[in-house]
Amino acid sequence: MNIRELEGQRGILRLPLLLLEKGEMGYYSIIKESDLYDRILRNSLDKLKKLGLVTTRIDTSTYPSRIMISLTDKGRKVAEKLKEIEEILETNEGGML
């Protein structure tokens, strides 16, 4: 999979940035924070998992159990680069590049 295959996938770039900022998060916390629909989040997570950017685990210390999502080392590197791009775009907002 390459970057072109991610184009048009709603939320796919937002999720690594959110996880970089917040750290490991529960599935429903991500829905709440990102305003993504369940189906869209599931599709985005599937693609990110296939790319090796996120990992999931089941937290059985709570009832009901929670699905927890976090960045892999590779995912953290990608998210840091996305953050850099976001900062460049914000710096140049309203101006010429």
CATH at 35: 1.10.10.10
Q: Find where tokens 């429903």 sit.
A: 28
Angle of the 73-91 helix axis to the 14-22 helix axis, nearest 10: 100
- Contact yes or no for 25/19 (Cβ under 8 A): yes
* Residue 78, burial from CB neighbour count under 10 angstroms (0-12, 13-18, 19+): buried
Residue 90: which pLDDT band, with cuts at 50, 70 and 90? confident
User: For 13-70, what is each residue's pLDDT tens digit?
Assistant: 889 999 999 999 999 999 999 888 899 899 999 999 999 999 999 999 988 999 999 9
Q: What is the pTM of this model?
A: 0.83
In a domain, 16, yes or no: yes
Boundaries of domain holding 27:
10-89
- What is the domain count for the chain? 1
